Amino acid sequence: MLVDGVPTRTVWWAGDGVVGMINQPLLPHRFERVEMATWRHTASAIQTMVVRGAGAIGATGALGMAQAAVAADEAYFFEQVAEAANGLRATRPTAQNLFYGIDTVLKAIQGEGDHIGRAREAAVAAAVAVCDDDAECCRRIGELGAPLLKDRRRVNTHCNAGWLAFVDWGSALSPIYRAHRDGVGLFVYVDETRPRQQGSQLTAWELGQEGVPHAIIADNATGHYLKEGAIDIVIVGSDRIAANGDVANKIGTYTSALAARAAGVPFYVAAPTTTIAAHTASGADIPIEERDDDEVLYVWGWSDDGRFIRVRTAPAGSRAKNPAFDVTPAALISGIITEKRIIPASPAGIRSVAR
């Protein structure tokens, strides 16, 4: 995707055991690339959401494993690699892609037996392949999903499931980018997505870079626009898809799905098949990450005098609850756009594409 006209990826292998990524909390006001020197730095970047989004943290987890393999002492190679895997897994509990990325590199390492040198090379090759696969899957999601927008040009999306949430292209935004580049006149209603405001800070920035017409709306305005007939289709991403078709995504997705159903508007989920957790029977089995209540009680932003500051918006004595995700039941989902095809949100549909 493009940043000021320059093709850019979200995360990448920078060589010499270093992982590069975009510093997302600074967006949309400042674009900055940062480098993580060790797997522990990379794990911290995932946990603090310097990098976030299902595919992006999956790729970053894979790259963190490559870092660990490159840096591990030969005498303690497998112990140190296992320590890195456990540390990276602990950063975010909900997103399936993270575990997929870690396990893919682990399998590549284990496939080399006791040949440590080859194991290091295999780890890097597998991590880079996870990144490339994520980008290609998202490109295909765009191609397969774009026809849905031919006659449904007023689109709503929640949170950020664009290229910043993956290595490139994105999931929910990929059909929008493909259709826009093909000349389809679209307008996107961007949910602000409290409490971290990934919609207003990241999705709106991405759409602006691509020149896609859009407007940011408060999360609680989505139902209004659906009811008034201003929205033709809703497309969201996913952090984990259960075997029965239930979908975990950013908190507030379930509310949008209910409103879309009431308004008779199609509600689609876009995700690569790496997001499917075949071992997770239903949404009830998906762990929901509970984040720090400060994310609800405070907001970060740029002051008029150019300072990036935190401001408390709630009473000093108040506490908050902050679930990062919710689960949308399969019955509310019109279809899941994968890189293979659009499938029904059902056990049979999931089985037909699961890796």
Positions marked catalytic = 239
Distance CA(62)–CA(288), nearest Å, equals 22
Strand boundaries in 166-232, DSSP class E: 187-191, 214-217
Distance CA(291)–CA(313), nearest Å, equals 17
**DSSP characters over 252-281:** THHHHHHHHHHHT--EEEE--GGGB-TT--
Cis omega (within 30 of 0) for bond into 28: yes
Strand boundaries in the chain, DSSP class E: 2-3, 6-7, 11-15, 18-22, 33-36, 154-157, 187-191, 214-217, 233-236, 240-241, 247-250, 267-270, 298-302, 308-312, 325-328, 335-337, 342-343
Distance CA(129)–CA(63), nearest Å, equals 10
